[in-house]
Amino acid sequence: MRPLPPRRPPNPFRSPLRGPWLTSVLGTVLLAGLPVLFVTGLLSYAAYNPDLARINDKTPDKGLLGFYLFSWPTHPYWLYRLTQGVHVTLGVVLVPVLLAKLWSVAPKLFALPPLRSAGHALERLSLLLLVGGGLFEFATGILNVQLDYVFPGSFYRLHFYGAWVFVGALLAHTVLKVPIAVRTLRDRGLRAELRTPLERTRPEPRDPTGLVATDPAEPTVSRRGALGMVGLGSLALLLVTAGQSIGGPLRRTALLAPRGRNPGTGPNGFQVNKTAALAHVRPQDTGEAWRLTVRGNGRTVRLSRAELEAMPQRTSMLPIACVEGWSSGDQRWEGVPLRELAALVGHHTDPPGVFVESLQPAGSFRAVALRANQVRDGRALLALRVGGADLSPDHGYPARVIVPAAPGVMNTKWVRQLTFGATTFTTDSGEPA
């Protein structure tokens, strides 16, 4: 008996919309957005001043990938709020486009046989890095924002290395696909296609890309309709996300914001990333017995809160802008400029950077190194009050740092010690910082 020819399963990819045109349109949108995501992501890493101290560096093994680092400026004071707001908002908004793009090329992703030749294997590998890398970056970013640092300690590393892998694959993919995308978009104008209703929606001509269905089903939606759904999805995500960065009345529309939609009322009524209780900062540590230790130049000064309040106070209108994309908006902070505290230990002109340590016993954001330019900016404070009231326990009472243009993590709460001109950054527990 002769063996039966292998039975081919019915082709599951029968949508008449698939084809190089739809893929090119979606690809063009991604090609406009992804570089912005990449650059704002790199900027976010630079904003931590990772080259200043190990403790600032969440990706210590970066090697050459840190080639572009520079000292993060303090002007304009809303810089990180802007770059990180764009990064997170754009990332969320591009999700429907990414999913639609993957849907549009699905037949290629599941093509059989999986490997036909060495060249084909290489192409598959680059696709794996592209698709896997893209999904990985979007998934880690969104999980980090929504699920409160689900990858303890490792998010930054995963997201940073993932970004380089993804961008490498994207670059190769772009070089390979731009010619066909340009040709396709030129042959089939966007306007004409967007005017085509369902009745006149036809599959694209068969072509070597293998995207067009061999046995297309009847269309149930036009290309205009399909792109419209993607656009509406993105618009809806924009509307429920952007408010967390923009603030004002829009904050209430930020339904996807992980924090701060109901932050309470009053001067301290804005987002809290980590509460005092979660940080294991106990009331007895922040009461009357609390002292701020200021060190530098071989000297040590200890100050009570009353003594800090007796120093000349300065007011700074500054936002907290978290890596998660949300911002508190400008708040009116009052306290002692960091450079005045440097002067207390003899740094009267051109103070150096400072190592800030919190009362918080453990956790990755309890200490930070600030650069000289941040200390020298007169708006950078050890804040005691916000919006005319004492800091609440959750916002860092008795004292917290606030620095213009810096990421939220630099604004250490429940400060215990400031070391100006520190050369080693080791916390009391001996942990390398």
Ligand X SMILES: Nc1nc2c(c(=O)[nH]1)N[C@H]1C(S)=C(S)[C@@H](COP(=O)(O)O)O[C@H]1N2
By CB under 6 A, is residue 95 in contact with ligand X? Answer: no
In whole angstroms, the minimum distance from the beta carbon of 376 to ligand X comes to: 21
CA dist 50 and 154 (Å) reads 15
In whole angstroms, the minimum distance from the beta carbon of 411 to Mo ion comes to: 9
How many residues of this chain interact with ligand X, rule: CB under 6 A? Answer: 21
Report what 279 binds from ligand X, Mo ion, none; CB cut-off 5-8 Å by kind.
ligand X
By CB under 6 A, is residue 328 in contact with ligand X? Answer: yes
Residues that bind Mo ion (CB under 5 A): 273, 322-323, 408
In whole angstroms, the minimum distance from the beta carbon of 275 to ligand X comes to: 8
In whole angstroms, the minimum distance from the beta carbon of 154 to ligand X comes to: 16
Q: DSSP states of 165-229 as a string?
A: HHHHHHHHHHHHHHHHHHHHHHHS-HHHHHT--GGG--PPPP-TTS-S-SSPPPPSS-HHHHHHH
In whole angstroms, the minimum distance from the beta carbon of 86 to ligand X comes to: 17
SS3 for 231? helix
CA dist 384 and 283 (Å) reads 16
Between 111 and 409, name the residue whose CB sits nearer to ligand X: 409
Between 26 and 322, name the residue whose CB sits nearer to Mo ion: 322
By CB under 6 A, is residue 271 in contact with ligand X? Answer: yes
By CB under 6 A, is residue 411 in contact with ligand X? Answer: yes
Contact residue for ligand X among 412, 417, 419, 427 (CB under 6 A): 412
Between 145 and 212, name the residue whose CB sits nearer to Mo ion: 145
Between 143 and 239, name the residue whose CB sits nearer to Mo ion: 143
CA dist 46 and 69 (Å) reads 5
Between 251 and 395, name the residue whose CB sits nearer to ligand X: 395
Between 259 and 371, name the residue whose CB sits nearer to Mo ion: 259
Q: Which of 234, 213, 237 is nearest to 22 (CA)?
A: 213
Backbone angles phi and psi of 355, in degrees to 5: -105, 120
By CB under 6 A, is residue 84 in contact with ligand X? Answer: no
Report what 222 binds from Mo ion, ligand X, none; CB cut-off 5-8 Å by kind.
none
* Cα 139–Cα 140–Cα 146 angle in degrees, nearest 5: 85
Structure tokens given for 126: 């680059």
By CB under 6 A, is residue 272 in contact with ligand X? Answer: yes
- CB proximity list for 22: less than 8 A, separation 6 or greater: 104, 204, 223, 226, 227
Contact residue for ligand X among 181, 322, 344, 369 (CB under 6 A): 322
**Total length of the chain:** 433
251 neighbors 261 (Cβ within 8 angstroms): yes
By CB under 6 A, is residue 376 in contact with ligand X? Answer: no
By CB under 6 A, is residue 184 in contact with ligand X? Answer: no
E strand or H helix at 72: none
The DSSP 8-state label assigned to residue 411 in this structure reads S
By CB under 6 A, is residue 363 in contact with ligand X? Answer: yes
By CB under 6 A, is residue 49 in contact with ligand X? Answer: no
345 neighbors 299 (Cβ within 8 angstroms): yes
Interacting residue ranges for ligand X, rule: CB under 6 A:
271-274, 279, 320, 322, 328, 358, 360, 363, 365-366, 395-396, 408-409, 411-414
